[in-house]
Chain A
Amino acid sequence: MAHTERRDAPGLPDFSLLKRLARDQLIFLLEQLPGKKDLFIDADLMSPLDRIANVTILKQHEVDKLYKVELKPIASSSDQLCFLIRPRIQTVKWISDLVNSDKVAGRFRRYKIIFTPQKFYACETVLEEQGVYGDVTTDEWNFYILPLDDDILSLELPEFFRDNFLEGDQRWVTTAGSALHLLQSVYGSFSKVYGIGRCAKMVYESWRELMEEGEQRTRQPEFAKVFLIDRDVDFVTPLCSQVVYEGLVDDIFRIKCGSVEFGPDVTSSDKSIKVMLNSQDKVFNEIRNEHFSNVFGFLSQKAKNLQTAYDKRRGMDIQQMKAFVADELKGLKQEHRLLSLHIGASESMMKKKTKQDFQDLLKTEHSLLEGFEIRECITHIEEHINRQVSMIDSLRLLCLLSITENGLLSKDYKSLKAQYLQSYGIDHLLTFANLRQLGLLEEQQAGETLTVMESKVGKLVTDKTVGKLTDAFSSLAKKSNFRALSKRLALVPKSGEEYDLRVPRDMAYVFSGAYIPLSCKLIEQVLERDGWTGLEEVTRMLNGQEFAVTGGSSSSDARNKTDAQRIVLVMFLGGCTFSEISALRFLGRERGCRFIVVTTAITNSARLLEALLENGA
C-alpha cells in the first residue's frame, strides 16, 4: 500500500522563495566586505548554508577559503576575515581572542561577524568586555527558516531545546516569533492560532508584537491555522523507538539537514554515499511514511515493476527503442539506483532491528505505554543497564518508565541510578540532575498522594503571578499524568485487537499500533473542536498554558475561497520527530487537509537525550 495524496488535497505554498530571500541577503552581506576574504562558518551552519548558497556562489562573491569554526587558532593568511556564526558567547569569545592575538602580533585585518539568524546583546557585551568592539563590524543574516521539504520547515536550532527548556534561556523565543512573522509576511496571515505550552505562548506574544509593529497586509492567507506546541508537552513520543521508515533511517543513520550518508554496509561498495531524502526521491517518497514491516514488500514489488519496465525493451523495434532510451531509460536508471540504495538501507536496518535486543526493547516500550507488567520492565531495564547495551537507550527507557509511571519509586530510582552510574560513570550524576529538572526522570515523593500533587498544580495554574513569569524554573516538578491522559485521549488502543499495519486505521500505526503520539492527538482534537473547549481536563493535566486566538484576517470571507483554509501550520518548539510528521501526514490524508511542520530542529530520542547529557562536554 503506497500512500497516494488525495485528489482534493490543497496545494502547498512554494517555500523555495524563503531560500531565495536568504541567499540574496547573504550575498548582500558578503558584498558589504568587498575584496577577497576568508569565511569561517559554524560547524552546524555548514549543511544549512550548503542548501542556501553552495561553494560556487560563495566563491563568486569573493570568498577565498572556507573554514569550519573549531575554536582553535587559525591558519588563514587573508587580510579580511568574515565569520558566519550562530550568536553564541563561546564563538564570539574565540573571535575576540583571535582579534586580540592579531593585535599583539601587530597584524592588521578586517573582521566582520555575521550573526544568524540574529545577534544578541550578550554577544556584543562579550566583544565589548574583550575590548574588540571597535575592531569588528557585525551584521545579521536573517536566515530563520530552511525548507527541508515541501512540508517541513526547520529553524535548524537544535540548541533551542536545551537552552529553552533546561537552561531557562529564552533568547530563541524571539527568533521563533520572527520566523512566524517572516512566514506571515511572505505567505499571508493566519485566521486562527492555537497553542499549548509556556514557550508557545511567549512565541506567540513575540510574534504578535512584531505584527503590531509592522504594517498590516491584507493578503489572501496561504495557511488557515497555526498550532504552536512545546516539546515538553509531550516527551513520550520522541522517547519511543521509531518504526516508520523515515524515522527509522533517522534513528539509525541520522538524517542531517535533509540528507543522509549511507555507509559501505548499505551501498555494498567501499564508498559512502550521501543521499538527499525528500519528496523529489520518488522511491523514498512512497515509503517514508510506511511502517517498516511493509517496506520490504513494497520495495520488492517496486523492483519487479522496474524489471518489467526494463523488459519492455525486448521485442522493440529500432524506433521504439530509440524512444525508450530517450524518454524512459534515464528515469528508470535513476529509480534503479535509488531503489537499490533503499533496499540496502532496509537490509542493514533489518539486520539490526530483528535482533532479540531490539525486539525486547520494543516490547518493553509497549508495556510501559500500556502500563502492563511494570516489574518485568524494570528488570529488563536493569539488565539493559548492567549489560551496557546502549547508554542512550538505557536512559531513554528510564525516562519512559518515569514519565509513564509518574516518577519512580524511591527504591527503584536509587538503585537504577546507582547502576547506571556504575555502568557509565559518575559524571552522569549531572545528567540525572538535568533530567530531573525537566521532569523526565523523577523520584516519587514519599507519602505524596496524587490528589495532593494535583491540587498543587491546579493552584499554580490559577495563581496569576506565578503563571505569568516564573513557573518554569521554580523547581516545580512537572507531573506527567501520562496514564490519565492516555486514558482520556485513548492514546493506547486496546490490546488484543489485531492491528493491520498495512491499512492503518489511526495515527497509532507510526508506533506499530501501540500508541498514538500525544502531540498529534492534541492537534487533531483541537482542530476538530476548533479550540480547547471540552479539553479542559486534558490541558489541566498538561499544566495549562493553552490558548486560541482568532487572527487578523476574517475567516468568514476566506473560508469559501481557497485551499488555504485546509493548510495547517504546526510549529514544534524544541524539535519534532519524523514519526510525528508521518502521523500528521496521515491525519492530513484522513481529513483532507495538509500539515506544514515548522520545527526548531528535527529530533529523535538520541538527539533529545544527548542534548541533556553533561558528561565531560
Chain B
Amino acid sequence: MAFVTANWNPLGESFYRKIELYEMGWNLKDGLKDSLVAAAPYGGPIALLKGHNRRSSSARPQLEIFSSSGLPLASFPWKSGVVKQLGWTVSDDLLCVQEDGTVLVYDLWGGFKRHFSMGNELSQSQVLETKIFHSPYGTGVAILTGALRYTLATNIDDIKLRRLPEVPGLQGAPSCWAVLTQDRQSKVLVANGSQLFILDNTACTPVTPPGLSPQASSIVHMCVSFSYKYLALLTDSGHVWMGTSNLKEKLSEVDTNIKTPPKQMAWCRRPKSQQPSAVVMWDGLLIVVGECKETIQYHLDDDSVLVPELDGVRIISGTHHELLQEVPGACEEIFKIASMAPGALLLEAHKEYEKESQKADEYLREIKEQSLLSEAVRQCVEAAGHEHEPETQKTLLRAASFGKCFLSNFPPEQFVSMCRDLRVLNAVRDYTVGIPLTHTQFKQMTVQVLIDRLVYRKLYPLAIEVCRYLKTPEYQGVSRVLKHWACYKVQQKEESDEVIAKAVSVKLADAAGISYSEIATKAYESGRTELAIKLLEFEPRSGEQVPLLLKMKKSPLALSKAIESGDTDLVYTVVMYLKNELNRGDFFMMLRNQPVALSLYKQFCKHQEQDTLKDLFNQDDDHEELGNFYVKASYKEQRLEARIALLQSAVDEYYKAKNEFSAKTTEDEMRLLRFQRKLEEEKGELLVGFSLHDTMTTLLSVGLHKHAEQLYKDFRVPDKRFWWLKLKALAEKEDWEELEKFGKSKKSPIGYLPFVEVCIKHHNKYEAKKYVSKVTPEQKVKAHLAVGDMEGAAEAAIERRNESEISTVLSRCSATTDHLLMERLNRARATAVKK
C-alpha cells in the first residue's frame, strides 16, 4: 500500500496525483502534432483531424475518431471545407466548425447527421476563432468572425443565432476569450490587451478583475471552470490570477515565472476541493498552480491535450492518457503518511487482522474509543470510490466490511451501492470499452446517461448487463436497450428480413414495454417495408401499428388492424385517409370486406353524404338496403310526385332483392297516396301521409262511408280490422243509428261484446243493451255486467253453471241491494262445484 502515495505531489495544504488511465491503443506517427484534437468530457470519445490546415485538394486530411483508450471507432477522409475547430456535443456527437461558418454534425461512428450554418455573412468574412461550450441548455457554438464580431448559438438542437455587440477598440483578434454561462445566459468574456469585456445580448461591459497584479500589461490566456463558477487568467507577466467568474472575488494569484504564452490552460478543481487550482501547459511542461507560491511541475514528453473534467483534468498525449486531480479528502485521510484518521486506522487494523495479529484489536479499540468506527467505515467506502486500481478498491472495501462487523446499526446502503457502482465503473473503464469515468462523474452523469452512452457505442450486451446488475426498472433499462439494439439491427442490410425479424422477436420476446412499432418505423425508414410489416406483427397494441401501416401505404392491413384495436377513432382515421387516397371504386371495395369500417362510414355518410350512402349500396348490389334507402328518402320529400317516384324506385329495388312482400306493400302505399290525394282534392280532407287504418278512420268519421268501403275492398283489409275500426269510428261520432245499421249488416266477425263495450265507453247504456242479446253465450256474463245488469249476469252465469263466472258476478254484487240474488248464486255455485 506504500505505493498509493507514490504519485502524490503536495501543493499547499493538499495533494495532487496523476493517474495513468490508459496506454493509448492508437498508433499515431507524429503523436498529436499538427492535429486538431477534441475529446468529449465524461470520458467521451476523441476526434482527431490531421493536417487540417492543408488546403490542397490532393491530400485530404483524415478524420479519425477513437475511444478514450485509443481504439478506433471511425476514420474517413475529410472532403469538406477547412475545419477550424472540432468539438463534441453533450450527447456525443461530433461538431466540425468550418472556416465558412458551416457546422457539420457527425455521430460517434463517423456517420453524417446534418449540418447548419452560423450565419450567411461568414462565407465572406470567414471564421477566425471558435469555441464549443456546454451549458444547461445543451451544446453551444461561439464564433469570432473575420469582422471581429461574435456570434453565438446556445443550443445547436434549437438554433437561434445571436450576434453580440461590438467590442470597442478591437483592432485584431483579441488576445484571448472564453464563453461563460451566467444568469441563465451565455456571455463572452474578451481580453484585449489588459482590458476585459463581458459581452451579453445587449451590451459590452468593461470589467476589471479585483487584485490583478499591476505588472501585467496583457492577459494572454484564460479559462473557465467546468461549472462556470471560476475563472483563471494568465498574464504576460507570467501570473495566474484565479477568482470567481463574476469577477467579484479574487481567490489567489501565483507567479509561474514563465513569460511565454502557454498552449493550454484548464481548471483542475474537484467539487468541495480545498483550494482553487489550474493547470497550465507549455511545450514539454505542465504546471499546477494553487493558492500557495509553490507549484507542481510535470515534464511532458510529447504534445498533449488537456481535457477539463468535473473533478480534474485529463491529459492525452500521443501515447498515454492520464488523469490529474486533487487527491480526494477521504483518500488523503487514509493514505497520507502517518495519518491517524479513523479510516487509516481501520485499514491498518484490517491489515493486521489478515496477518492474524492481535494488533488488529488494538487499532480497532483505538477507533472505538473515540467512537469513530462508523466514520472510519464511511471513509473507507468513500475512498474506495475514488481509487482507480481495483486492488486498492478491494482493500478499502474489505477494511470497511471488517469495520462494519463491529457496528450494530450501520446502514448498509452506502456500502452496497458503492460496491455496485464500482463494479459498473470498472467494467466501463475497461480498455475495450474506454470510458474512464470517475465515481464523482458517474454520479453526476447518472446511470441513465451512462446506459445511453453504452447504447450509443453499440455496447448492447454490456448495457443490458449494467441494467440488470443495477436493477434498473425494465421499462427504462433492459427494454430500452433492447429497443435500441433492435433499431440498429433492422438497419443491417446484409441480413434477410426473416432472419432479422426472428432475431428481434426472440430477443425482445419477454421484455416489457417494447414498442415494436418504433422499431418497425426505423426499419421502414431504412427502406425495409417488408421487414417493418413483419415486425409490426409482434406489436401487441394494434392501435400502434396503424399510423405506420398507413405511412407505408399498406392500407388494407392498416384498416384491419384498426378494426382489431376496437378503437373507432382509429378506424375513422384510416377510413378518411383511404377515402382521400383511393378512387371511389377501390375504396368501396375495401370497405366491403370490412363490415365494421363500412358501418362506421355509413354512420358518417348518413349525416354528411347521403348520396355516397346510395352509391355504397349500389356497389354492393344491396337492393334491400337501397329499397329502404328510397323509402326513407320518400318521407323526407314534401311533394307527392317526387315521393311516389322515390317509392317506385324502392319497389324496383325490392323486386330485385326478391322481397315481394316489401315491394307489394310499397306499391300499396303508392296506391294509397294517390287515393288520398285524389280525395283530398275532392273533399278537402287532410289525408296524405296517414296509414291505411287512419285514413279509413278519418273517412268514416267525416261520413265518407263509401270511400272507406272502397279502401276496405281495394286493400283487402281483414274483416275484423274493418269492423273494429268502423265500430270505434262510429262510436266516436256517437252515430248510434249508423252503428245499429252496421251491427245488423251481417254477422259481426268480432262478436258483439265490443259493441256493448264501446257503447258503455261512451256512456250510452241504452244503446249497449241493444247488443247484449247478440253476444255469444261465453261472453254473456261479461256483457251483462258491462251494462250493469246484475240479474241478467246472474241468470247467464247460472245457466252456464260456470263456477268462476258465478264468482265474478258474486264479487260485483253488493250485500245490501242484491241480497236475494246472492243467495241464488251461492246455491248455484254449490251445485256447480258438486258437479
Please report A residues at the B interface, Cβ cutoff 8 Å: 89-90, 93, 120-122, 125-126, 129, 163, 167-171, 173-174, 202, 205-206, 209, 382-383, 386-388, 414, 417-419, 421-427, 429-430, 433, 468-470, 473-474, 614-616
Q: A169-B568, A173-B566 are in contact. Are A424 and B691 (CB under 8 A)?
A: yes
Q: Which of B75-83, B184-192, B602-610 contacts A (4 or more CB under 8 A)?
A: B602-610
Closest to A432 in B: B662
B541 partner, pick from A173, A209, A386, A474, beta carbons under 8 A: A209
Which residues 562-576 in B have Cβ within 8 Å of A in the complex? 563-564, 566-570, 572-573, 576
B599 neighbours in A (Cβ, 8 Å): 167-169, 473
Which residues 581-625 in B have Cβ within 8 Å of A in the complex? 594-596, 599-600, 602-604, 607-608, 624
Closest to B541 in A: A209
User: Does chain A have a CB within 8 A of B709?
Assistant: no
Which residues 693-738 in B have Cβ within 8 Å of A in the complex? 693-694, 715, 717-718, 720-721, 724-725, 728
Inter-subunit contact B690/A425 (CB<8 Å)? yes
Inter-subunit contact B595/A174 (CB<8 Å)? no
Q: How far is the CA of A348 from the CA of B665 in the complex (A)?
A: 40
A469 neighbours in B (Cβ, 8 Å): 560, 563-564, 596
Inter-subunit contact B596/A170 (CB<8 Å)? yes
Q: How far is the CA of A163 from the CA of B718 in the complex (A)?
A: 37
Q: A169-B599, A169-B603, A424-B693 are in contact. Are A382 and B572 (CB under 8 A)?
A: no
Q: How far is the CA of A126 from the CA of B572 in the complex (A)?
A: 12
A125 partner, pick from B576, B595, B691, beta carbons under 8 A: B576
B632 neighbours in A (Cβ, 8 Å): 430, 614
B563 neighbours in A (Cβ, 8 Å): 469
Inter-subunit contact B715/A383 (CB<8 Å)? no
Q: A171-B568, A427-B631, A427-B635 are in contact. Are A474 and B595 (CB under 8 A)?
A: yes
User: Does chain A have a CB within 8 A of B628?
Assistant: yes
User: Does chain A have a CB within 8 A of B67?
Assistant: no
Q: How far is the CA of A417 from the CA of B717 in the complex (A)?
A: 13
Q: List 9 additional contacts besides A90-B607, A167-B602; criterion CB under 8 Å.
A: A120-B569, A122-B604, A168-B599, A174-B566, A174-B569, A387-B728, A425-B691, A425-B694, A469-B596
B572 neighbours in A (Cβ, 8 Å): 120-122, 125
Inter-subunit contact A430/B693 (CB<8 Å)? no
Inter-subunit contact A126/B608 (CB<8 Å)? yes
- Summarize B's interface: helix, strand, loop or mixed: helix
User: Does chain A have a CB within 8 A of B666?
Assistant: yes
Which residues 613-662 in B have Cβ within 8 Å of A in the complex? 624, 628, 631-632, 635, 661-662
B467 neighbours in A (Cβ, 8 Å): none
B721 neighbours in A (Cβ, 8 Å): 386, 419, 422-423
Inter-subunit contact A120/B568 (CB<8 Å)? yes
B693 neighbours in A (Cβ, 8 Å): 388, 422-424
B204 neighbours in A (Cβ, 8 Å): none
A429 partner, pick from B600, B666, B689, beta carbons under 8 A: B666
Inter-subunit contact A93/B608 (CB<8 Å)? yes
Q: List 8 A-B contacts (CB under 8 A).
A: A89-B607, A129-B608, A168-B599, A206-B566, A386-B725, A423-B721, A424-B693, A425-B694
Q: How far is the CA of A456 from the CA of B573 in the complex (A)?
A: 35
The smallest beta-carbon distance between A227 and chain B, in angstroms, is: 20
Inter-subunit contact B631/A429 (CB<8 Å)? yes
The smallest beta-carbon distance between B22 and chain A, in angstroms, is: 44
Inter-subunit contact B567/A174 (CB<8 Å)? yes
Inter-subunit contact A429/B725 (CB<8 Å)? no
User: Does chain A have a CB within 8 A of B793?
Assistant: no
Q: How far is the CA of A120 from the CA of B573 in the complex (A)?
A: 10
The smallest beta-carbon distance between A481 and chain B, in angstroms, is: 24
Closest to B605 in A: A89
Q: A168-B596, A170-B566 are in contact. Are A423 and B691 (CB under 8 A)?
A: yes
Q: How far is the CA of A433 from the CA of B694 in the complex (A)?
A: 23
A470 partner, pick from B595, B600, B690, B694, beta carbons under 8 A: B595
Inter-subunit contact B665/A418 (CB<8 Å)? yes
Inter-subunit contact B607/A202 (CB<8 Å)? no
Closest to A379 in B: B720
Inter-subunit contact A386/B724 (CB<8 Å)? yes
A422 neighbours in B (Cβ, 8 Å): 691-693, 715, 717, 721
A121 partner, pick from B573, B594, B662, B666, beta carbons under 8 A: B573
Closest to B570 in A: A121
Inter-subunit contact B566/A205 (CB<8 Å)? yes
The smallest beta-carbon distance between A476 and chain B, in angstroms, is: 11
Please report B residues at the A interface, Cβ cutoff 8 Å: 541, 560, 563-564, 566-570, 572-573, 576, 594-596, 599-600, 602-604, 607-608, 624, 628, 631-632, 635, 661-662, 665-666, 668-669, 689-694, 715, 717-718, 720-721, 724-725, 728, 750
Q: How far is the CA of A126 from the CA of B605 in the complex (A)?
A: 11
The smallest beta-carbon distance between A557 and chain B, in angstroms, is: 24
Inter-subunit contact B669/A426 (CB<8 Å)? yes
A426 neighbours in B (Cβ, 8 Å): 631, 665-666, 668-669, 691
A473 neighbours in B (Cβ, 8 Å): 595-596, 599
The smallest beta-carbon distance between B378 and chain A, in angstroms, is: 36
B595 neighbours in A (Cβ, 8 Å): 168, 470, 473-474
A474 neighbours in B (Cβ, 8 Å): 595
Inter-subunit contact B608/A169 (CB<8 Å)? no
B564 neighbours in A (Cβ, 8 Å): 468-469
The smallest beta-carbon distance between B20 and chain A, in angstroms, is: 48
Q: How far is the CA of A418 from the CA of B693 in the complex (A)?
A: 12
B594 neighbours in A (Cβ, 8 Å): 470
The smallest beta-carbon distance between B757 and chain A, in angstroms, is: 8
The smallest beta-carbon distance between A563 and chain B, in angstroms, is: 34
Inter-subunit contact B602/A89 (CB<8 Å)? no
Q: How far is the CA of A191 from the CA of B603 in the complex (A)?
A: 37
The smallest beta-carbon distance between B732 and chain A, in angstroms, is: 12
Closest to B572 in A: A121
9 shortest interchain CB distances as A-B pairs? A168-B599, A425-B691, A171-B568, A386-B721, A121-B569, A426-B669, A473-B595, A89-B607, A422-B692
Q: How far is the CA of A421 from the CA of B693 in the complex (A)?
A: 9
B724 neighbours in A (Cβ, 8 Å): 383, 386-387
A209 neighbours in B (Cβ, 8 Å): 541
Closest to A213 in B: B541
Most chain A beta carbons < 10 A, residue from B594, B689, B692: B692
Q: How far is the CA of A470 from the CA of B568 in the complex (A)?
A: 14
Q: How far is the CA of A125 from the CA of B574 in the complex (A)?
A: 12
Closest to A93 in B: B607
Q: How far is the CA of A151 from the CA of B597 in the complex (A)?
A: 37
Q: How far is the CA of A169 from the CA of B631 in the complex (A)?
A: 23
The smallest beta-carbon distance between B658 and chain A, in angstroms, is: 14
Inter-subunit contact A167/B603 (CB<8 Å)? yes
Closest to A417 in B: B661
A614 neighbours in B (Cβ, 8 Å): 632
Q: How far is the CA of A170 from the CA of B594 in the complex (A)?
A: 13
Inter-subunit contact B720/A382 (CB<8 Å)? yes
Q: How far is the CA of A497 from the CA of B632 in the complex (A)?
A: 50
B661 neighbours in A (Cβ, 8 Å): 414, 417-418
Q: How far is the CA of A167 from the CA of B604 in the complex (A)?
A: 11
A424 neighbours in B (Cβ, 8 Å): 691, 693
Closest to A471 in B: B595
Most chain B beta carbons < 10 A, residue from A90, A168, A429: A429
Q: How far is the CA of A93 from the CA of B541 in the complex (A)?
A: 32
Inter-subunit contact B608/A173 (CB<8 Å)? no
Q: How far is the CA of A419 from the CA of B693 in the complex (A)?
A: 9
Inter-subunit contact A470/B596 (CB<8 Å)? yes
Inter-subunit contact B720/A386 (CB<8 Å)? yes
Q: How far is the CA of A205 from the CA of B543 in the complex (A)?
A: 13
Most chain B beta carbons < 10 A, residue from A122, A167, A418: A122
Closest to B647 in A: A426
The smallest beta-carbon distance between A123 and chain B, in angstroms, is: 9
Inter-subunit contact B717/A429 (CB<8 Å)? no
Closest to A173 in B: B566
Inter-subunit contact B720/A173 (CB<8 Å)? no
The smallest beta-carbon distance between A444 and chain B, in angstroms, is: 15
B720 neighbours in A (Cβ, 8 Å): 382-383, 386
